[in-house]
C-alpha cells in the first residue's frame, strides 16, 4: 500500500500533484510519502508487539537523514554497515543503544567510532575482525558488545546478487567456525558476547526460509547456553520482500506470527533489520521524456533519468512499474525507456507497454524508495537527483540537487599542470 494515486487524471503524492512538484524542483527526482513511511514502519513494528524486540531500520536501503529521523521518532533503531551510516543515524537522533553494526569490511577507524559511541552490538563476520574489535576495545578501555553473524547455508530463493545465506556468499561464518569465535570472545577481556546474528538475503517473498534460519539459530543458541555462554539478542536480519510486479509477499502480521512461534519461551530480544519493506513503496522516481526515437526494430523513450539515478533495472534486471504522471488515453505499445548515459545497459525498462507520450511528459517509477537514490552515482559526470518528502499537502526538499561545482569538489590540479 502507498499514497501515490491518481486524482482527476493526475498522479498525486498524498495531497500534491506529482507534476507540480516536478515542475518546481526539476527532474530527475525522488519523491517520498511521509504517510506511507509511517504506516509501513508501524505496521511492521507493531506486528511484533507480543515479543521483546528492536526494529532496526536497514540504512543501506535509503540513508537520507530526514527518513532516518522519522524512524527515530517512531521508536526505531538502525542497522548500519559503515561509519557514514553511523554518522547519519546519530545525526538523525537514533539512540546508540538501538544501533547494530553489520558488514564484512569494517575498518579500524569505523570500529573505533562505533565502540566510542556505545552502540548495541557489532556483528562479527570473521576471525580477523574479531581480533581487531578486541584490540580497539582494549586501546579505548571499553568492553565491546558483540554478536557473531552465522551463515546458516539457507537458499532464500531470491536474486543471486542479493542472497546472503549460502556457503558461497561472503557474509558471515559457518557454525563450526562461529563456535570457536564465541570461545575466543569469552576469553577476551574487552569483548562481551551478547547476541547471534544471521541474514539470508533480500526481497524474500516466502516465510519458510526465515523459519528455517531461526530454527538453525536456536540450535546454536542452545549449544552456546550449554557451554555457559548466555545471549541476550537474536538478530534475524531483514529481507522481507515487497510487490514490484506480481510478487505476493506475506503481510507483516503473518511473518511476525511465524517468527514469534519459533522464539516462544527463549527469553531472547529479537532484533529485526527491515529496509525495503519499510521504504520501498514509499518512494517514486520521476523523470521527464526528452525524445521519442523510432528505429526499424524499436521505439525508445529517451528520458532525463538514467542508470546512474536508478541502477536496479540495469544491474539486476529489476522491474519497476511505470505510470505516466498525467493519465493518457490510447493503445499502449512496447517501448524501451532509456537514459542519456553512453552505455547500452542504460535502460530503465525494456519492451514495456506504455501509452503514447509526447516529449515533456513525466514518468513515475514506482517502488523506488529502496536502493534507488542510495545506489545512485555520478557516472558520466551527472549530478545526482534531488529528494523530496511529501506530508499531506506540503513538500520539503530533503536533499538538494547536486551542482556542477559539487561534482568537482575535492579535486585538485597539481601545480605543474596549472596554466
DSSP for 258-327 reads HHHHHHTTS-PEEEE---HHHHGGGEEEEEEEEEEEE-SS-EEEEES--TTT--HHHHH-----EEESB-
Q: CA 40, 46, 47: angle at the middle one, nearest 5?
A: 90
In which residue are the cell numbers 534460519 written? Answer: 213
- Is the pLDDT confidence value at 171 over 70? no
pLDDT at 164: 44
Are 269 and 170 in the same domain? yes
- At 208 the three-state DSSP class reads helix
Q: How many residues does the chain have?
A: 419
Residues classed as catalytic: 342
Q: 233-235 and 191-197: which strand pairing?
A: parallel
Cell numbers placing 418: 596549472
Question: Which domain-ending residue is among 239, 254, 277?
Answer: 277
193-203 pLDDT per residue, tens: 999 999 888 78
**Cell, residue 194:** 551478547
The answer to whether the CB of 181 falls within 8 A of the CB of 126 is: no
Cell triple for residue 245? 510486479
C-alpha cell at 364: 513515475
Q: What is the pLDDT of residues 236-261, one digit of tens each?
A: 998 888 888 888 888 999 999 999 99
Whether pTM exceeds 0.85 = yes
245 shares a domain with 98 = yes
Q: What is the largest CA-CA distance in the chain?
A: 74
186 C-beta neighbours (distance < 10 Å), count: 14
Q: What is the pLDDT of residues 332-386, one digit of tens each?
A: 999 999 999 999 999 999 999 999 999 999 999 999 999 999 999 999 999 999 9
Domain with 62 in it: 34-277
CATH number reported for the structural domain that contains residue 122 in this entry: 3.20.20.10
Domain shared by 158 and 48, yes or no: yes
CA–CA separation, 289 and 281 (whole Å) = 23
The pLDDT-based confidence of 165 (bands split at 50, 70, 90) is: very low
pLDDT of residue 157: 52
Number of domains the chain is built from: 2
| Helical packing angle, 252-263 and 34-47, nearest 10° | 30
Tell whether 339 and 390 lie within a shared domain.
yes
Each residue's pLDDT tens digit, 138-162: 999 999 999 999 987 765 454 444 4
Amino acid at each position: 500500500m502507498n499514497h501515490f494515486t491518481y486524482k482527476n487524471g493526475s498522479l498525486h503524492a498524498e495531497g500534491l500533484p506529482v507534476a507540480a512538484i516536478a515542475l518546481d524542483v526539476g527532474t530527475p527526482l525522488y519523491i517520498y510519502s511521509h504517510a506511507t513511511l509511517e504506516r509501513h514502519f508501524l505496521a511492521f513494528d507493531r506486528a511484533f508487539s507480543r515479543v521483546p524486540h528492536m526494529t532496526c531500520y536497514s540504512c543501506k536501503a535509503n540513508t537520507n537523514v530526514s527518513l532516518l529521523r522519522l524512524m527515530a521518532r517512531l521508536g526505531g533503531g538502525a542497522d548500519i554497515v559503515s561509519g557514514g551510516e553511523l554518522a547519519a543515524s546519530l545525526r538523525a537522533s537514533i539512540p546508540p543503544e538501538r544501533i547494530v553494526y553489520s558488514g564484512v569490511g569494517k575498518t579500524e577507524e569505523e570500529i573505533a567510532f562505533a565502540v566510542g559511541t556505545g552502540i548495541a552490538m557489532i556483528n562479527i563476520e570473521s576471525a580477523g575482525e574479531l581480533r581487531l574489535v578486541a584490540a580497539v576495545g582494549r586501546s579505548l578501555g571499553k568492553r565491546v558488545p558483540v554478536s557473531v553473524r552465522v551463515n546458516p547455508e539457507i537458499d532464500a530463493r531470491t536474486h543471486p546478487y542479493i542472497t546472503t545465506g549460502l556457503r558461497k556468499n561472503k557474509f558471515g561464518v559457518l557454525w563450526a567456525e562461529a563456535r570457536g569465535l564465541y570461545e575466543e570472545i569469552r576469553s577476551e577481556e574487552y569483548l562481551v558476547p551478547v547476541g547471534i546474528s544471521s541474514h539470508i538475503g533480500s526481497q524474500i517473498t516466502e516465510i519458510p526460509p526465515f523459519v528455517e534460519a531461526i530454527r538453525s539459530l536456536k540450535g546454536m543458541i542452545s549449544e552456546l547456553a550449554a557451554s555457559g555462554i548466555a545471549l541476550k539478542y537474536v538478530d534475524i536480519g531483514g529481507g522481507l520482500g515487497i510487490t514490484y510486479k506480481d510478487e505476493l509477499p506475506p503481510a507483516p502480521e503473518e511473518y511476525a506470527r511465524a517468527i514469534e512461534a519459533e522464539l516462544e519461551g527463549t527469553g531472547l530480544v529479537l532484533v529485526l533489520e527491515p529496509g525495503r519493506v519499510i521504504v520501498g513503496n514509499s518512494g517514486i522516481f520521476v523523470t521527464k521524456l526528452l525524445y521519442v526515437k523510432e528505429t526499424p526494430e524499436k521505439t525508445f523513450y529517451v528520458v532525463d533519468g538514467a542508470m546512474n539515478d536508478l541502477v536496479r533495472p540495469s544491474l539486476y534486471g529489476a522491474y519497476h512499474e511505470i505510470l505516466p504522471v498525467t493519465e493518457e488515453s490510447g493503445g499502449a505499445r512496447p517501448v524501451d525507456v532509456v537514459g542519456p548515459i553512453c552505455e547500452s545497459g542504460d535502460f530503465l525498462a525494456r519492451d514495456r507497454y506504455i501509452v503514447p507520450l509526447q516529449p515533456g511528459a513525466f514518468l513515475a517509477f514506482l517502488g523506488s524508495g529502496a536502493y534507488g537514490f542510495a545506489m545512485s552515482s555520478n557516472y558520466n559526470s551527472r549530478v545526482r537527483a534531488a529528494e523530496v518528502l511529501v506530508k499531506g499537502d506540503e513538500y520539503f526538499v530533503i536533499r538538494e540537487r547536486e551542482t556542477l561545482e559539487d561534482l568537482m569538489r575535492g579535486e585538485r590540479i597539481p601545480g605543474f599542470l596549472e596554466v
